[in-house]
Amino acid sequence: MTGATLTWQRLRDLRCAEFEDAGDGWHEISGRADSDRVRVERAMTAKLRETQDSDSAEAAIKRLERLSRNFRYVHAEAGLIRTALNGLAAELAAPQRQLAQALEDAERLKFTVHPDGSVSYPAAVGETLLGKQEHPGGSARGSARLPLEAPGPSERPGLPGGGFHPNPNAAKAEAVADLIARAVRSAAEIDDRYAKILNKLKAAKGLDVTKATLDDVFQDTAGVRSTASTYLARGIPWGESPAERKEWWDGLTEERQQEYIDVAPELVGGLDGIPATARDEANRNYLPVLIDELARQDGDDARTKLDALRGIEAKLGEPSRVPMFLLGIGDEGNGRAIVAYGNPDTSRNVSAYVPGLGTKLDEGFVDDTLKRGLDTARGARRYDASSSAIVWLGYDAPNIATVASTGNAEAGAPAYNQFMNGLGVTNQNDDPHVTAIGHSYGSLTVGTAANQDRGIPAADDIILLGSPGVGVDKAEDLGVGKEHVYVGAADNDPVTMLPSKRQSAVSVLAAAGGPFISYMAGDIADQGDDDVHFGKDPASEAFGAQRFKVDDGPHPVLDAGGFDAHSQYFTPERDKVSADNIALIVAGQPELIQMEEWR
């Protein structure tokens, strides 16, 4: 195979297991190279750096670094060969089964399959207008044309014009011959595809791994990913629950898991139910691929996302006392990014924050939104070191033109619930404490998620910050018990006082109608300050949640604060009380928070 002319006999006699055995050999080489790399870096290079300080030591370190790059290259390329061979074996299995079925049918019907793939059939009695008559045997040549492809100049060489043949064996022989021809055609296409990529996986003599060589690995990985996409995607439980996905993942060999992470990271990096460490490794591998794709695109949207992805890549490379995990990344819609500070699988306390109006994959997300997650994690870890805080941009937050609609929240809620379900499945603690956090329009997304059939999976507490309403009128409707719903609402935050839809309409009418209409509007609209745009004000007594203390923030007009009070809940430098209260709730110590009176 892989380059030789393919016949049905070669396909019949092919032993796919030999490709898999060869793949196992390359896997062993890949693993050995990686082990040697680790040994060089930790046992040799690191020791030299710690104990020696001389020109000769520096020269030795450079040679060891070169050796390490060599091992890294061998590890990557050998792994790609393994994947290609495994993919070749897996994909060839289907046409081989198809051929075996055709040959079995031919034997059962006592047909003869010739070396060129034609099928001879015996004489048989068939019905004619004159009654039953014996019709001579013949030969049928198969067509590799698939059912929806246009026919060639002659549809059936054995049947001029493709018409009816009085010998009933003729049609059966044609079916067998077609099956053989299609199996050989399919196998040949698979073989040709893999031959091309395997021929590219070659290293130059006198291997000296440079940056250009490592860039070549990047291109080789993309080629294998494209070639083996069918093989790699096969079996992934896309439509199943996170629990079933975890079961699938745990059932894979370590080799197969690493294959997904290294070669097809985009397939598993965002799969809820996969462990956080695997998702993080996969998404770190996928990030440069996504950056490369966006760098080749034109337009402001691509440039905005590209800058954001480069910013995330830079943060991932920075040392931090709170480890960063990339749980999801993508360029669909306004961009996707799910970032955890602290491992959500090993932490006892886990929060997942949904941002709101105007949030997208841009510089603001990298500099400001991610900092809110980091501040939450740092704050919670002061009270319980086993705490993780997640920023979840897994939906399209609305812009100013669509913020009055519930559409974005309704689209995002199922994805958020799926993610939260995955957190509960992969967490390794017996009884983890999970907090759902929604800020601004994100609180409506959280409220919409909580109002679905089974509520937010795994959530014990809900925090609503700067909320314009959550789609329900009572805290008890959010599924965690009203005593577990916490609200932060700054008195100078204009978003928490957005008028209800009814009040908005009446206000327009009043402004147009003068004093009498204004008086009537006072009777019609609810002026008790417990209605906001998406339902009851979560900070009101009517809603019934627990309101905690936050700083009032600058007044939008008198202090020229605009929306500043809406954006400081997470930030200890600007609102220490709010940030500390959030941290206490996330850390599972709500009894220590400072409470505030309802509105």
Q: Note the pLDDT tens digit of each residue in 344-357.
A: 999 999 999 999 99
Distance CA 280, CA 269 (A): 7
* Residues 6+ positions from 222 with CB-CB distance below 8 Å: 289
- Asked if pLDDT for residue 155 goes beyond 70, the answer is no
Whether the Cβ atoms of residue 346 and residue 428 lie closer than 8 Å to each other: yes
Distance CA 81, CA 263 (A): 11
Q: Which pLDDT does position 311 carry in this prediction? A: 97
Q: Which pLDDT does position 521 carry in this prediction? A: 41
Q: Which pLDDT does position 514 carry in this prediction? A: 42
Angle at 233 between CA 229 and CA 236, to 5 degrees: 170
Percent of the chain residues topping a pLDDT of 70: 87
* Residues 6+ positions from 500 with CB-CB distance below 8 Å: 525, 526, 531, 532, 533
**What is the DSSP code (8-state) at residue 120?**
E
Q: Strand, coil or helix: what is 135? A: strand
Q: Which pLDDT does position 516 carry in this prediction? A: 34
Phi first, then psi: what are they for 556, rounded to 5°? -55, -35
Q: Strand, coil or helix: what is 573? A: coil
- Asked if pLDDT for residue 567 goes beyond 90, the answer is yes
Whether the Cβ atoms of residue 79 and residue 263 lie closer than 8 Å to each other: yes
Q: Which pLDDT does position 219 carry in this prediction? A: 83
- Asked if pLDDT for residue 2 goes beyond 70, the answer is no
Which is nearest to 323 in space by CA: 281, 273, 263, 264? 281
Tokens of 323: 């480890």
Which is nearest to 228 in space by CA: 182, 197, 262? 197
Condensed to tens digits (0 to 9), the pLDDT of residues 315-347 reads 999 988 899 999 999 999 999 999 999 999 999
Q: Which pLDDT does position 55 carry in this prediction? A: 85
Q: Which residues pair with 112 in a beta bridge?
A: 120
Q: Would you tell me how many other CB atoms lie within 10 Å of the CB of residue 32?
A: 14
Distance CA 495, CA 464 (A): 12
Alpha helices in 109-141 (DSSP H): none
Which is nearest to 375 in space by CA: 564, 74, 579? 579
- Please give the average per-residue pLDDT across 206-214, as a whole number: 66
Among 41-45, 94-98, 161-165, 546-550, the minimum mean pLDDT is found in 161-165
Q: Name the band, by pLDDT with cuts 50, 70 and 90, for residue 207.
A: low
Whether the Cβ atoms of residue 335 and residue 393 lie closer than 8 Å to each other: yes
Torsion of the alpha carbons at 226, 232, 236 and 239, rounded to the nearest 10: 20
Q: Which pLDDT does position 153 carry in this prediction? A: 45
Q: Report in angstroms the alpha-carbon separations of 128 from 99, 114, 133, 166, 270.
A: 33, 30, 7, 7, 64
Which is nearest to 441 in space by CA: 563, 335, 342? 563
Distance CA 345, CA 355 (A): 22
Q: Report in angstroms the alpha-carbon separations of 455 from 167, 183, 202, 411.
A: 66, 50, 53, 15
**Verdict on whether the full-model pTM lies above 0.85:** no
Q: Which residues pair with 433 in a beta bridge?
A: 349
Our separate counts of H helices and E strands in the chain read 19, 15
- Please give the average per-residue pLDDT across 559-588, as a whole number: 93
Whether the Cβ atoms of residue 92 and residue 43 lie closer than 8 Å to each other: no
Q: Would you tell me how many other CB atoms lie within 10 Å of the CB of residue 341?
A: 27
Report which of residues 205 and 537 the model is more confident about: 537
Hey, which of 374-388, 401-415, 506-520 has the most confident mean pLDDT?
374-388
Say what angle helices 168-200 and 55-108 make with each other, to 10 degrees.
170
Report which of residues 230 and 3 the model is more confident about: 230
Alpha helices in 46-54 (DSSP H): 46-51
Q: Report in angstroms the alpha-carbon separations of 263 from 79, 84, 283, 368, 434.
A: 9, 10, 11, 32, 33
Strands 336-341 and 387-393, sheet pairing: antiparallel
Distance CA 386, CA 427 (A): 12
Q: Report in angstroms the alpha-carbon separations of 158 from 18, 106, 125, 484, 544.
A: 38, 17, 18, 78, 82
Q: Which pLDDT does position 160 carry in this prediction? A: 42
- Asked if pLDDT for residue 130 goes beyond 60, the answer is yes
Distance CA 88, CA 127 (A): 47
**What is the DSSP code (8-state) at residue 595?**
B
Q: Which pLDDT does position 326 carry in this prediction? A: 98
Condensed to tens digits (0 to 9), the pLDDT of residues 496-543 reads 887 665 554 444 334 444 443 333 344 333 445 578 889 999 999 999
Q: Which pLDDT does position 167 carry in this prediction? A: 87
Whether the Cβ atoms of residue 469 and residue 536 lie closer than 8 Å to each other: yes
Distance CA 210, CA 366 (A): 31
R_g of the chain computed on alpha carbons: 32
Q: Which pLDDT does position 149 carry in this prediction? A: 57
Phi first, then psi: what are they for 269, rounded to 5°? -60, -30
Q: Average pLDDT of the chain?
A: 88
Say what angle helices 168-200 and 211-227 make with each other, to 10 degrees.
170
Condensed to tens digits (0 to 9), the pLDDT of residues 411-446 reads 999 999 999 999 999 999 999 999 999 999 999 999
Q: Strand, coil or helix: what is 352? A: strand
Q: Which pLDDT does position 500 carry in this prediction? A: 60
Q: Which pLDDT does position 96 carry in this prediction? A: 95
Distance CA 185, CA 11 (A): 11
Q: Which pLDDT does position 506 carry in this prediction? A: 41
* Residues 6+ positions from 65 with CB-CB distance below 8 Å: 45
Among 161-175, 229-243, 255-269, the minimum mean pLDDT is found in 161-175
Alpha helices in 228-318 (DSSP H): 229-233, 242-251, 254-263, 265-268, 276-295, 300-316
Report which of residues 164 and 549 the model is more confident about: 549
Q: Which residues pair with 134 in a beta bridge?
A: 125
Q: What is the DSSP string of 536-552?
A: E-TTSTTT--EEB----
